[in-house]
Structure 1
Amino acid sequence: MQTTVQPPQTTTAAPWRIPAFRRFTSANLISAAGSAMAPLALAYSVIEQGGGAGSLGLVLATNTLPTIVFLVVGGVFADRLSRSRILFLGNLLAAAAQGALAVTVATGHATTLSIAACGLVSGTAASFIVPAMQGAVAQIVPAAHLQQANALLRLPTNTVKVLGPVVGGLVVAASDAAWALAWDALTFAVAAVLLLTLRLETPPAPRTGVLADLRAGWDGFRSRTWLWTYTAAGAVLVAAWLAGFQLLGPLVAAREYAGARDWGLVQAAFSAGLLAGTLVCLRWKPYRLLTVAVATSGALALPLAALAAALPLPVVLAAALLAGVGLDVAIVAWSTAFQQHVPQAEQGRMSAFNGIGERLAIPLGYLVTALAAHLWTPRTALLACAALITAAAALNLCVRDVHRINRRA
């Protein structure tokens, strides 16, 4: 059975009543179920073949680098070709890469180089999948229901993020990393099969060269003040959050709290907040979409400030919960604003430029934080990260254009 999707503006059907959206959501959930286990399995596949921190760093770098290098190319193709076809091929490529990795690990032939090569292919697949997904939702769902659709997409994904690492840890502990990697490959393959029967029309766009499309995309990105200022603020915010929560958080938990046990509770509280934020978005439909996205993203400063001040654990857990709620509300509100205010023919490139802007600062954030750790205590560095997040959100709220990107009837 094939599902051909026409432009959604002519219908007012709720997202779950649209067969194409149910198929798209199912594919997204299934691939997420495998991807949630992948980081843990990838780490232990390196460890099992004798690799250390340097080997793991190389593998993670090769997995991340393509999403920066090829993301713009993926955005151009998402605006020139059928997005459903790109999603199908991207998931199929990821399935092949993870399947090959699972076989090499299972047979004992895995090396750091082979694992890194498979990671490079998986990262390349992701760089084409990400821009295509943003525009695909807007092609499937009517504009009036975009926020609901974005929330419904995140609800099962956030649930999987809570359960996936736990299940992955049990699978790796009971057998080895190869089984978890094989599961990841299988979920990508099943998602590809579901997407194969989804037919999204090619976005209407002038047939020019790839370089001309890139230049036009960059001009469109620069001309939208709200878009590039949000991206610039997001680069600072994402780098400060990841450096603070992923790098400094465990160190402070080890010194000021009960180590891994309490840090696990903090992470669980944050994940629970993400789920709660999704439920909020299913009910609350703010008019000032971009203002809400910017303001709620500032909640990420709360757990970093609480950890920096060494507040009691219940306060830190509450702060992490609120941060999760704020982040998910921000993501849903931002996605809805983006889909409503960027033309279909440009959404792939605009999404790619936004994604690159936010990703480029992450390695720099880790590096600066690592250097600052030699000059400051982890608690002081955490406080600096919280201040950067607050400043980025506050300055972005001062941009007049941000308050003009509101919900369209």
Structure 2
Amino acid sequence: MKTAAGSPTIRSTPLRVAAFRRFVSANLISATGSAMAPLALAYSIIEQGGGAGSLGLVLATNTVPAIVFLLAGGLLADRLSRSRILFLGNLLAAGAQGALAAIVATGHATTASIAVCGLVSGAAASFTVPAAQGAVSQIVPAEHLQQANALLRLPSNAVKVLGPVVGGFIVAASGATWALAWDAVTFAAAAVLLLGLRLDAPLTASSVVSDLRAGWTGFWSRTWLWTYTAAGTVLVAAWLAGFQLLGPLVAAQQYGGARDWGLVQAAFASGLLAGTLVCLRWKPHRLLTVAVAVGGALALPLAAMGWGLPLPVVLIATLLAGIGLDIAIVAWTTAFQQHVPQAEQGRMSAFNGVGERLAIPLGYLITAFAAHTWGNQSVLLACAGLIAAAAILNLCVPDVYRINRPIRNDQSRIAK
């Protein structure tokens, strides 16, 4: 399989690369199930009598494996075929979601059994995330990376617009089983497509210890990378605790339950889609500055729900948050791919991923406890404040303004 370094640079679009089309197709198929899964998971807990504590435990259990296994996943992504890792990870996720659908369908679902399935799904993601991060830059020439990142997100974000709405009606009409089962099927189909990529291992492996030591040295030497990760530790935990944990509960108490929460998620997905369209046309020079600044928009829907604003206002705030997040993701991913060498991307992605996830399990548990003590809406406002503070503090780091789009005739320059 050709890497990006050996690919022709005359192609006007990444979609002319057959391997990239296969990668996009796998992502799209998987997205049709993943768009429904969070809502189905939340309401499978609510239907069996669980509240913030039960949902927080399940979400935390899903996240813990990422912290435990993500470094191993990043190391393997730099040493083994990334397509093989993606195949096995998606296959494992398919098994976990299939088992979850089965226990929900048979009425044997408990908080503990749902948490175990989440544990397996989280472990699968620990290996696929670093592999996917580096796979795009193996497939696509460097000058087309932003377009490739945007095109990769375009079809999946389009699916996410209708997915939560359809999922909300499915869950409201017949329970969570069918949405969870479809998620399992799409993971399996994506696994088959990803196996066909046949990407070579990007690194001649040395010892595990020396690879990890070199990875940590590279991570710590890039101030822009570890400060972005540190800010993400707070921002990601506050966003997920507020939106995934408290959002469905507030929707059930204050709005129209699964139906209205489906609309909120659809608004968020619509924002993601709009942000992707922006990224297809807008190519900012200051990639990292843009990523940090627009990521702060995630505070908007949490503040709107915390203040108890009407549903239309919440939908607008969620739409803006989605736009900001997708621009941030594309800008950040492009900056990462252009400023980190190919052979280090698995480990750098893993260190970044571990850092951003460190506080998530604790954040879920603290948020569940705080919501029980002070109420859901007060805690939502606190989460919004933390997101805004993290973005502002990250913008105070001078190195953030140095990670810019390489000049066209100097694409090979790597930030140290």
When residues 376 and 105 of structure 1 are mapped into structure 2, their CA distance, relative to the original with a 3 A threshold, is closer
User: CA offsets per residue over residues 27-80 of structure 1, 9 Å max, x none?
Assistant: 1111121222333444566677x5745665554443332122111110110010
When residues 52 and 315 of structure 1 are mapped into structure 2, their CA distance, relative to the original with a 3 A threshold, is closer
The unaligned stretches of length 5 or more in structure 2 are 409-416
Classify the secondary structure of the residue corresponding to 1:202: coil
Q: Which moved more, 1:71-80 or 1:352-361?
A: 352-361
Classify the secondary structure of the residue corresponding to 1:392: helix
User: CA offsets per residue over residues 220-254 of structure 1, 9 Å max, x none?
Assistant: 11111000000111111122223344455567778
Cα distance in 2 for residues equivalent to 1:286 and 1:374:
43
CA contact (8 A) 2:60 2:365 kept: no
Classify the secondary structure of the residue corresponding to 2:359: helix
Matched, 1:11 2:8: yes
CA contact (8 A) 1:158 1:274 kept: yes
CA contact (8 A) 1:81 1:203 kept: yes
Alignment-mate amino acid for residue 355 of structure 1: G
User: Which residue of structure 1 lines up, in the alignment, with residue 318 of structure 2?
Assistant: 320
Matched, 1:146 2:142: no
User: Which residue of structure 2 lines up, in the alignment, with residue 98 of structure 1?
Assistant: 97
User: Which residue of structure 1 lines up, in the alignment, with residue 274 of structure 2?
Assistant: 276
Q: Superposed, which structure 2 residues align to 1:201-212 within 5 Å?
A: 201-205=200-204, 207-212=205-210
User: Which residue of structure 2 lines up, in the alignment, with residue 190 of structure 1?
Assistant: 189
User: CA offsets per residue over residues 346-391 of structure 1, 9 Å max, x none?
Assistant: 1111111111111121233334444555775655544443332222
User: Which residue of structure 2 lines up, in the alignment, with residue 27 of structure 1?
Assistant: 26
Cα distance in 1 for residues equivalent to 2:261 and 2:180:
26
User: Which residue of structure 2 lines up, in the alignment, with residue 365 of structure 1?
Assistant: 363
Equivalent position to 1:297, from 295, 298, 314: 295
Cα distance in 1 for residues equivalent to 2:386 and 2:111:
36
Q: Superposed, which structure 2 residues align to 1:145-224 within 5 Å?
A: 145-172=144-171, 177-205=176-204, 207-224=205-222
Classify the secondary structure of the residue corresponding to 2:405: coil
Q: Superposed, which structure 2 residues align to 1:106-121 within 5 Å?
A: 106=105, 114-121=113-120
The unaligned stretches of length 5 or more in structure 1 are none
Classify the secondary structure of the residue corresponding to 2:180: helix
Cα distance in 2 for residues equivalent to 1:389 and 1:343:
30
Alignment-mate amino acid for residue 214 of structure 2: A
User: CA offsets per residue over residues 264-312 of structure 1, 9 Å max, x none?
Assistant: 5544433321111111011101011001101111222233444555666
CA contact (8 A) 2:133 2:345 kept: yes
Cα distance in 1 for residues equivalent to 2:246 and 2:118:
26
When residues 282 and 379 of structure 1 are mapped into structure 2, their CA distance, relative to the original with a 3 A threshold, is same
Equivalent position to 2:330, from 318, 329, 332: 332
Cα distance in 1 for residues equivalent to 2:172 and 2:378:
37
Q: Superposed, which structure 2 residues align to 1:228-267 within 5 Å?
A: 228-247=226-245, 258=255, 260=257, 265-267=263-265
CA contact (8 A) 1:231 1:358 kept: yes
Alignment-mate amino acid for residue 149 of structure 1: A
User: Which residue of structure 2 lines up, in the alignment, with residue 385 of structure 1?
Assistant: 383
Cα distance in 2 for residues equivalent to 1:94 and 1:150:
23
CA contact (8 A) 1:168 1:180 kept: yes
Cα distance in 1 for residues equivalent to 2:357 and 2:138:
26
Classify the secondary structure of the residue corresponding to 1:204: coil
When residues 191 and 247 of structure 1 are mapped into structure 2, their CA distance, relative to the original with a 3 A threshold, is closer
Alignment-mate amino acid for residue 210 of structure 1: V
Alignment-mate amino acid for residue 146 of structure 2: Q
Classify the secondary structure of the residue corresponding to 2:203: coil
Q: Superposed, which structure 2 residues align to 1:56-135 within 5 Å?
A: 58-103=57-102, 106=105, 114-135=113-134
Cα distance in 2 for residues equivalent to 1:303 and 1:191:
32
Q: Which moved more, 1:159-168 or 1:16-25?
A: 159-168
Matched-pair identity in %: 78
When residues 67 and 264 of structure 1 are mapped into structure 2, their CA distance, relative to the original with a 3 A threshold, is same
CA contact (8 A) 2:42 2:248 kept: no
Q: Which moved more, 1:57-66 or 1:270-279?
A: 57-66
Query: Normalising by structure 1, what TM-score?
Result: 0.87
Cα distance in 1 for residues equivalent to 2:249 and 2:106:
37
CA contact (8 A) 1:84 1:195 kept: yes
